[in-house]
Structure 1
């Protein structure tokens, strides 16, 4: 902030800061070689020693490679990753539009059918990532960009990791309060069901205008899905039983992304055989 306009890696001109998150900032920029607008994520590393900085830089490069390996109409493509002033910078497609979070904050909850359409698109994107062995692990409204006609783009695979590389010793409690699945909070190896939970919490927020789970502080909110119950939806309409199934405490009780996509298009999600375990309210019959 306040710095003069500059060029990084001799190619990317920073124009203006679009937003700041926990791990850095996102800038609107211009690729001077190809003459196109780009979004540039500046990964701001915490002050650590040289070894720690090297590890964090390597992690940022892994993030870029993870996202670059995915090609889908609802996943923000990564063009490049460069190092400038000992910081990694990730160059992506520039999306003109707000995040889903900002849209709800500015204009209020979205209507049920719009949320269902957005949800089906994001489910398709996550399904494509899972087919490549990649779990996003941080699906939330702030990581969904809305372009023209509410075309959703999923971004920020910053804490994603391959299913093959996941292990109980390498996984720690990660994710965002209110959107992290219970098993994720416990530090268990992530599976596709983690993203089903995050997507369910994201769609709940989009249609209700408030979080499915809440606590008195960030830690309490992070732990709420493990020990609390989901708020009873008031605006979700026919989406309610679908969202509640996606937010089930046990991963095995959540539907697959394929079934979710079908349910969001048809308005029906077949009931599981036997009761759904956990502290979620009983689903109302329609």
Structure 2
């Protein structure tokens, strides 16, 4: 007999983690493959597990208000006596982290295309008051056709929501912005910083800052990484400028919006430096 979760058929396990399991599922009512993420409901006195459940619900709340080709769609949220579950769009593909971990590299035109997909999703998300706060290759899905889809809004900050507060450090250290490390309230520009880190990694094959948590935190707050062009001959000084602006220590020195980031990147890749200079960068920055 087919195992069911609510109205959904559970077909196979896609992955397991410390908190729960992700299944490939099927919605028989509308004939649709779905992905179903589950977590066990915690005991009331388990504070840490209760926070994990709050993040899980936050993911449903955040992604559920977003409908965009570059964002993994969320269709449903439910609970049984034992578990909570989110029903999501089934993405037939892999993560960008999986591709990078295999040592695969992308040419600059393909990097621009991937980043433009990411920026389109973030522009839409930010416009609806949702800051992801954990942009990294593991949360970027690539479909079989190579399209980008942003996943896992589990630590998102939602405007007007009291579920996340300043003073709490959440994120993945290698991709966290300076303001995340020091517990300041974040806005859309923290996602652009993390995207800049990811762009650096795509261009060079290396993360800009490595080490343990304390070492990374010190570097993020106080040092500058080598320019990407020092690590890859395919990277031009114009691309260095885009990375440096995206990864500026102060949020006000970064791109104001994801759409600005995408435009500057495309123009830099096409070596049209005049367009890069229009974002307040002069010839001395090259």
Q: Determine if the TM-score, normalized by the shorter chain, exceeds 0.5.
A: yes
User: What does residue range 38-49 of structure 1 map to in structure 2 within 5 Å?
Assistant: 38-43=34-39, 49=45
Per the TM alignment, residue 70 of structure 1 is displaced from its structure 2 partner at its CA by: 0.7
Whether 2:90 is the aligned partner of 1:89: answer no
Partner of 2:110: 114
Q: How far does residue 160 in structure 1 lie from its aligned partner after superposition?
A: 0.5
Unaligned runs of 5+ in 1: 276-281
Q: 1:179 aligns with which of 175, 193, 215?
A: 175
Report the count of equivalent residues: 274
Q: 1:22 to 1:259 in 2, by over 3 A?
A: farther
Structure 1's 130 and 16: CA in aligned 2 closer, same or farther, altered over 3 A? same
Contact 1:167 1:189 in 2 (8 A): no
Within-5 A mapping of 1:14-163: 14-21=10-17, 23-43=19-39, 49=45, 56-163=52-159
What is the Cα-based RMSD across aligned positions, in Å?
A: 2.9
Distance 1:64 1:177 in 2: 24
Q: Does 1:221 align with 2:222?
A: no
The structure-2 alpha-carbon separation of the partners of 1:161 and 1:23, relative to structure 1 and needing over 3 Å to count, comes to farther
Name the structure 2 match of 1:206.
202
Name the counterpart of 2:249: 249
Shift of 1:91: 0.7
- Comparing 259-268 and 180-189, the one that deviates more: 259-268
Deviations 1:98-144 (A, max 9, x none): 10000111242211111111111111111111111111100000000
Q: Is the contact made by 2:166 and 2:184 (CA closer than 8 Å) also made in structure 1?
A: no
Q: In the alignment, does 2:236 pair up with 1:240?
A: no
Does 2:264 match 1:263? Answer: yes
Distance in 2 separating the partners of 1:103 and 1:261: 22
Deviations 1:40-68 (A, max 9, x none): 11235676626776665344223202111
Q: In the superposition, relative to structure 1, how do residues 133 and 89 fare at CA in structure 2: closer, same or farther (>3 Å)?
A: same
Match among 5, 26, 48 for residue 8 of structure 1: 5
- Matched residue, 1:279: none
Pair 35,186 (structure 1): closer, same or farther in 2 beyond 3 Å: same
Partners of 1:283 and 1:42 in 2: CA distance: 52
Q: Unaligned stretches of 5+ in structure 2?
A: none
Greater Cα offset, 85-94 or 45-54 = 45-54
Under a length normalisation based on structure 1, what TM-score does the superposition of the two structures give? 0.84
Aligned equivalents of 1:206 and 1:85: distance in 2? Answer: 44
Quote the Cα distance in structure 1 between the aligned partners of 2:46 and 2:198: 37
**Closer, same or farther: CA 16–164 of 1 in aligned 2, 3 Å:** same
Distance 1:100 1:151 in 2: 11
**Bigger shift: residues 75-84 or 42-51:** 42-51
Q: CA deviation at 1:244?
A: 1.8
What does the per-residue CA deviation read over 1:78-100, in whole Å, with 9 as the maximum and x for residues that have no partner? 01111134322111111111100
Contact 2:23-2:35 within 8 A present in 1 as well: yes
> Given the two structures, how large is their TM-score scaled by the length of structure 2?
0.84
